[in-house]
Structure 1
């Protein structure tokens, strides 16, 4: 007779430490992608990489320069995401973690050596190549960490642990915002090189996880046949792939790049002081970190759908306010502060749900046979839209100014309706139970009653009631004939 353990009984140091250690890689994600706007606004970076304008006797970036340096690196992230799934299937998560650390080192070295000491000495192409290489490692992180956690974490805590990705991402963003502010008056290369070089810490620390995950890496190799790419678009997998793609699109299309990457640039273009332009993003990053904490609780207590349906309308509300109030000419200081507060509250609501839940959905919705491929292709699709938004936003800001808020608030409102009508609830379900969930039609007006198979039910019970050490450190025994079947599992 098997004793069912409580959900908390399945949490152990052997599970917590490697998951937390690997999340340091997500700080790299947040450090580089979420606050690059601070580098673009850094006087030293502008003086070394900008174009000289004789009429003003100053160096500056054009909208085209800003678009290229912000968007082209997403090619690297696209490649990292696209090849992460097949690489994990072939070599395992551990090798992929080591690989992304090496790739990140190479990229950062190229970035910080892309300029000499004088004005106008920046080698724009070299810096761009360095960013592309760093983004390859970011793409590998996005897929490898989420699929790792989805497989080893019990269903009751899957949401909390996978969404912790956003907490570490926000921590990386906060760190970079603080460093950007520290060097806001730096007119030489010391400031931006220091901020960029800090990225070397993350892969160095992450590489120390190798021994800690050695005992559990075997559980990451699925003991099932891995399906080909075309299986993503057949049967119930088509519906799952569609949902993963949809929510990764919404993650980018609801205005996150406007709030994160271009916030500092936007403030400076709209006449805010340098102090405000570099300080407000720090407050935004702090609020983003705070918002992840209730989100980590809500996804497993409220549910995935409910959290998203709170997040999206609030995002739309603050963007509507930003666009409406921002369009007013000759704003008072109070009105300018209200606009800045709208930015901050948008970021809070975004991080509370729509920033992190797509990663969770991408790691738990796909069928086991195509999970890595679905998450890999979905993440690549996400990068494609990140490229589109990052490339277009400088032009939108230049032409629409605060009117950019109308565009993204409208998309947020439409996303709310899509979530209600198309997204089934996966809270607390074992990955095998989710297969049964997608085998039946979804009706948003009726409770989701599923009938998993006996095998799926047994696996679900084990997922919620068996110690993690037990599942890793003890041999797999057939309880009917007493045979040890560990020999049948992949090495």
Structure 2
């Protein structure tokens, strides 16, 4: 049920950012999160106030309402944070910054796993209320003013000589002159159709290559298959590995690139899922094979977080052109929520009926994801958002390297026209800006 809230948040985020800006949406999502945890809506106590201390006295429906509200803020986060980061960060390390969202997601998972382990045997209300209340720590933070933030980001001498203030004025003036947001129908017009489809497909793969099986249902899986003693300990190890994997990905994403990172991630995801399925199908498993299954679970978590988990957020933020960036990310994340709901809904039935065979299913989907990445995803590392206009003006061929004169300050002969990407047009000439003009 919580996915209802996330879907609403994702779909509403794009139009809200275009109308009110990233900053106001940051404030809004924080307030919504707080309301979901401790506030009241339509006169009903929400989430943390939804039960008494004694077992069996909880008001489940009210708790679910609270979760739905909290998940609205999560949907807003995934669109607001990634699009904001992609626009303020220079191309050489845009990947490092944007996929940091996944670092905080897995760090949150680590905190949750630790709290769950701490209260594993707690049957009174203090256990679940403490775990729920932890959510209050983070929405109370606020962003600094734009000039203060720039002073932190820019060299000290720039802050002292007033260049930060001048930069803010220049940004505002530029936005007044050339900023343009297209309608929803433009998501499927011209080169935008290809870009939108890539974003949607990778958000699809983020959910259907087995992550919910390994993360959401791993405790239940361990309990059902003879690992009950460690059912709350193994997820802690997986969460730690997830944090390590994302840190590694952040360090290498802008050097290795999006394509190669995803290709390796999907290849290993398929491998570990097949190992789980193969060893799990043995009639009389040994201690070694049982341990190998647990290891495969953990290695899958490492492989998934190194690429398949984090890079879709990056692609959704950098592939769309500026006129439809927020809307594309909204559609992509909303589509992601639909498949998150479907996979979380059907996995318990798969576990009940095909048991370890679930690995054959998700492993095969990972192979499909690998093939799609190879044949359809162009490399975007190191390119400015403006240069990506040229990349997607070409039909992609995985066996041919794109050679764009745009990188040298010229406009490629097949660059998109102003109707495709008005934000990158020279308002005086009505023609696409050159790299030099944009800078």
TM-score class, shorter: 0.7 to 0.9
Q: For residues 217 and 150 of structure 1, what CA distance do their matches in structure 2 show? A: 17
Q: For residues 103 and 225 of structure 1, what CA distance do their matches in structure 2 show? A: 29
What's the CA shift for 1:265?
A: 1.4
The answer to whether structure 1 residue 246 and structure 2 residue 201 are counterparts is yes
The answer to whether structure 1 residue 170 and structure 2 residue 106 are counterparts is yes
What's the CA shift for 1:401?
A: 1.5
> 1:389-428, aligned counterparts within 5 Å?
389-428=343-382
Aligned position for 2:437: none
Q: 2:329 aligns with which of 365, 369, 375?
A: 375
Contact 1:304 1:425 in 2 (8 A): yes
What's the CA shift for 1:75?
A: 1.0
Aligned position for 1:23: none
Aligned position for 2:7: 78
What's the CA shift for 1:295?
A: 1.0
1:125-161: CA deviation from partner (whole Å, max 9, x where unpaired): 1111111111000000000000000000000010011
Q: For residues 238 and 168 of structure 2, what CA distance do their matches in structure 1 show? A: 37
- Structure 1 residues 258 and 373, CA gap change in structure 2 (3 angstroms): same
Q: For residues 273 and 102 of structure 1, what CA distance do their matches in structure 2 show? A: 39
Contact 2:37 2:70 in 1 (8 A): yes
Two-structure CA RMSD over aligned residues (Å): 2.0
The answer to whether structure 1 residue 95 and structure 2 residue 24 are counterparts is yes
Aligned position for 1:260: 215
- Structure 1 residues 210 and 195, CA gap change in structure 2 (3 angstroms): farther
Aligned position for 2:429: none
What's the CA shift for 1:217?
A: 8.1
Contact 1:433 1:456 in 2 (8 A): no
Consecutive unaligned residues of structure 1, counting only runs of 5 or more, are: 1-71, 458-491
Aligned position for 1:136: 72
> 1:6-21, aligned counterparts within 5 Å?
none
Contact 1:146 1:363 in 2 (8 A): yes
Moved more, 409-418 or 123-132: 123-132
Contact 1:436 1:451 in 2 (8 A): no
What's the CA shift for 1:444?
A: 0.4
Q: For residues 113 and 329 of structure 1, what CA distance do their matches in structure 2 show? A: 48
1:147-199: CA deviation from partner (whole Å, max 9, x where unpaired): 00000000001001111111111111111111111111111221111111100
> 1:476-487, aligned counterparts within 5 Å?
none
Q: For residues 20 and 215 of structure 2, what CA distance do their matches in structure 1 show? A: 34
Give 3-state SS (helix, strand or coil) of 1:431's partner: coil
What's the CA shift for 1:118?
A: 2.3
Q: For residues 276 and 27 of structure 2, what CA distance do their matches in structure 1 show? A: 43
Q: For residues 54 and 341 of structure 2, what CA distance do their matches in structure 1 show? A: 31
What's the CA shift for 1:331?
A: 2.9
**Relative contact order, higher structure (CA 8 A, sep 6+):** 1
What's the CA shift for 1:271?
A: 2.4
What's the CA shift for 1:209?
A: 4.2
Normalising by structure 2, we get a TM-score of: 0.84
Aligned position for 1:342: 296
Aligned position for 1:450: 404
The answer to whether structure 1 residue 272 and structure 2 residue 201 are counterparts is no
Moved more, 444-453 or 174-183: 444-453
Contact 1:226 1:370 in 2 (8 A): yes
What's the CA shift for 1:213?
A: 4.8
Normalising by structure 1, we get a TM-score of: 0.75
Q: For residues 102 and 456 of structure 1, what CA distance do their matches in structure 2 show? A: 46
Q: 1:116 aligns with which of 33, 38, 52?
A: 52
1:41-98: CA deviation from partner (whole Å, max 9, x where unpaired): xxxxxxxxxxxxxxxxxxxxxxxxxxxxxxx211111110101011011111111000
Aligned position for 1:19: none
Q: 2:394 aligns with which of 414, 425, 440?
A: 440
